[in-house]
């Protein structure tokens, strides 16, 4: 099943690249193309095209279920950082923090060395003295403060 999910993800990413960052697909048509159920398409979109990975997803019901996926452009790193802060909310899991930080590295907003420091500072290990219900809130605060210190071009 993971292989099928990878194929669907790669296909959608190719469509996004061909259309300059914005694609509208029909869930049922894509499911037919990959010979799977529409819920498999929902799974891929819900797990691999999230805000934390740099995508906006709009879902329209009826008429076959259109889904619009837009890649957040990083031509302006300041805008991308604002997107991250807005999508983060008041709390963030370690996994989500790691994804955000890896995106910063991939988009060359921060260096790999700074990324490793950010990952260490927001890890469950670094925050283990804080009770689990509060840990994600503290992690979000740390992330937002680090992002406020980043100088963008």
CATH topology for the 77-149 domain: 1.10.1200
Give the residue from 15, 31, 34, 11 showing the smallest Cα distance to 23.
15
The encoded tokens of residue 18 equal 């061909």
What is the pLDDT at residue 75? 63
Q: Which CATH number fits domain 2-71: 3.40.50.300, 3.30.56.130, 3.20.20.120, 1.10.3330.10?
A: 3.30.56.130
pLDDT tens figures, 19-39: 877 898 888 899 999 999 988
pTM exceeds 0.85, yes or no: no
Residue reference for tokens 């605060």: 141
List pLDDT tens digits, range 29-72: 999 999 999 889 889 998 888 877 778 888 877 665 688 898 87
Every domain of the chain and the residues it spans: 2-71, 77-149
Tokens of 65: 């279920």
pLDDT value, residue 139? 95
């Amino acid at each position: 099943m993971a292989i099928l999910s990878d194929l669907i993800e790669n296909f959608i990413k190719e469509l996004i690249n061909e259309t300059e960052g914005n694609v509208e697909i029909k869930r049922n048509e894509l499911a037919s193309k990959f010979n799977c159920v529409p819920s498999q398409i929902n799974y891929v979109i819900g797990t691999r095209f999230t805000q934390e990975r740099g995508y906006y997803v709009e879902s329209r019901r009826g008429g076959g279920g259109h889904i619009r996926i837009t890649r957040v452009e990083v031509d302006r790193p300041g805008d991308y950082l604002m997107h991250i802060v807005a999508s983060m909310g008041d709390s963030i899991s370690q996994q989500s923090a790691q994804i955000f930080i890896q995106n910063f590295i991939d988009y060359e907003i921060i260096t790999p060395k700074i990324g490793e420091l950010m990952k260490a500072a927001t890890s469950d290990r670094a925050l283990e003295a804080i009770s689990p219900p509060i840990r994600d809130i503290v992690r979000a605060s740390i992330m937002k403060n680090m992002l406020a210190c980043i100088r963008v071009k």
